Amino acid sequence: MSSSVLYMSMSLDGYIAGPNDGPEHPGGDGFDRLHEWFHNAEGEFVRPDGPAGVLWDEILATGAVLAGRRTVEQVDHWKGDHHGVPIVVPSHRPPGPSVARYPMVTYVLDGIEKAMAQAKAAAGGRDVMVHGAYTAQRALEAGVLDELQIHQIPVLFGQGRRLFDILPSHIELEIIRVLDTPVATHIRYRVQH
């Protein structure tokens, strides 16, 4: 049975994007700092050495991606290819015409629950990777987010976009794994529904 898992790199003070985050500057100032744990010197995504390599393998083993509209539009839907799996976008309005170029991208207009169900069906029994702060908050609120994989980066941003700025209620989490590396602490939580 597939699980929905939020994968997010985050500063110690809870930011997933720096200041000046927007369409012309995705992730904002300092965004790359949050992802150095899996970037090489040229800024390319690479499988990390050591224990963090397990996380890379898990990410590439997911069977679908559920990502918020703001997230996908800032990266042009990953050109329709996020490690070769379907991309599901919960949204309140239809996609723009550019999405027609990307057959692996589907917009779901009737709620986060339907979007998650479609992503899980598309994943074929594998996990669903979840991206986006707003989407994660809505999925938590609806009870359809199963786990959180937080890559806690030892930096304080002080400003930017927070992951859990607005939550529907108190939510209990169970720590199910901690991988500590010199560049990040990777904590996996199970949401207590």
Per-residue pLDDT, 63: 98
Q: What is the 3-state secondary structure (H, E, C) of the chain?
A: CCCEEEEEEEECCCEEECCCCECCECCCCCHHHHHHHHECCCCCECCCCCCHHHHHHHHHHCCEEEECHHHHHHCHHHHHCECCECEEEECCCCCCHHHHHCCCEEEECCCHHHHHHHHHHHHCCCCEEEECHHHHHHHHHHCCCCEEEEEEECCCCCCCEECCCCCCCCCCEEEEEEEECCCCEEEEEEECC
Per-residue pLDDT, 49: 86
pTM for the full predicted model: 0.93
Per-residue pLDDT, 44: 83
Which tens digits make up the pLDDT trace of 45-81? 889 988 899 999 999 999 999 999 999 998 889 999 9
The mean pLDDT values, 10 residues at a time, for the chain of 193 residues are 94 94 86 90 84 92 96 90 96 92 96 98 98 94 97 96 86 96 96 90
**In the chain, how many domains are there?**
1
Domain of residue 50: give its range.
4-191
User: Residue 176: which CATH number?
Assistant: 3.40.430.10
